């Protein structure tokens, strides 16, 4: 239900969002900077920096659950930092789309290494939804999906 609401809100935002003063390429680059800053902050353990990238009402979706900003900061962010510091991450190029003051970035990724004494070899996808206000681009939602890499046959 919450995903339907989020997707519906994104659809409305795309229809009614005013066209910003930035050119599409400048806006795309600015969105990419926020996405890159998020991942760099996780890798560096800069939790305060990561949290500044989120809108107050951000929602994080993973493994069939939804977390608010506060829930993520207290319960999930420390584990994400630990995970990012423990494994090697490779991201395929992001596809960034901007429509007025709304944007979304999609990528695929690979994680390899060891986390909490367990081997990690997984592939995943990430979708970030961002909006722009007077302070700049902020992350409004992230959806992560991953699975163990299938063995070669």
Instruction: Tell me the residue ranges of DSSP E strands in the chain.
Output: 54-62, 65-68, 87-91, 95-99, 102-115, 118-133, 136-148
* The pLDDT value given to residue 6: 46
Q: Would residue 31 count as lying in a domain?
A: yes
- Would you say residue 2 has pLDDT above 80? no
pLDDT in tens, 70-127: 999 999 999 999 999 999 989 888 899 999 999 999 999 999 999 999 999 999 999 9
73 located within any domain: yes
Q: Is residue 134 part of a domain?
A: yes
Predicted confidence (pLDDT) per residue in 6-39, tens digit: 445 445 444 444 444 445 589 999 999 999 999 9
pLDDT of res. 93: 86
User: And the tokens for 64?
Assistant: 């069939």
> CA 122, CA 124: separation in Å to the nearest integer?
7
What's the pLDDT score for residue 121?
A: 94
CATH of the domain at 106: 3.10.450.50
State how many domains the chain has.
1
For residue 80, tell me if it sits in a domain. yes
Residue 4 has what pLDDT? Answer: 54
Is residue 1 situated within a structural domain? no
Q: Is pLDDT above 90 for 3?
A: no
Domain extent at residue 81: 24-148
- Report yes or no on 117 lying in a domain: yes
Residue 2 resides in a domain: no
Residue 52 has pLDDT above 50, yes or no: yes
Query: pTM to 2 decimals?
Result: 0.81
The reply to whether 139 falls in a domain is yes
Q: What backbone torsions phi and psi does residue 105 show, to the nearest 5 degrees?
A: -130, 135
């Amino acid at each position: 239900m919450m995903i339907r609401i989020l997707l519906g809100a994104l659809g409305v935002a795309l229809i009614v969002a005013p066209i910003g003063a930035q050119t599409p390429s400048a806006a795309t680059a600015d969105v990419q900077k926020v996405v890159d800053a998020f991942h760099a902050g996780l890798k560096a353990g800069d939790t305060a920096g990561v949290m500044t990238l989120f809108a107050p009402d951000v929602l994080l979706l993973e493994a069939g659950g939804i977390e608010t900003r506060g829930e993520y900061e207290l319960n999930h962010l420390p584990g994400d930092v630990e995970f990012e510091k423990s494994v090697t991450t490779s991201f395929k190029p992001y596809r960034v789309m901007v429509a007025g003051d709304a944007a979304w970035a999609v990528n695929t990724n690979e994680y390899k290494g060891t986390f909490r004494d367990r081997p990690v070899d997984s592939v995943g996808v990430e979708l970030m939804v961002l909006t722009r206000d007077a302070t700049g681009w902020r992350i409004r939602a992230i959806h992560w999906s991953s699975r163990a890499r299938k063995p070669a046959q």
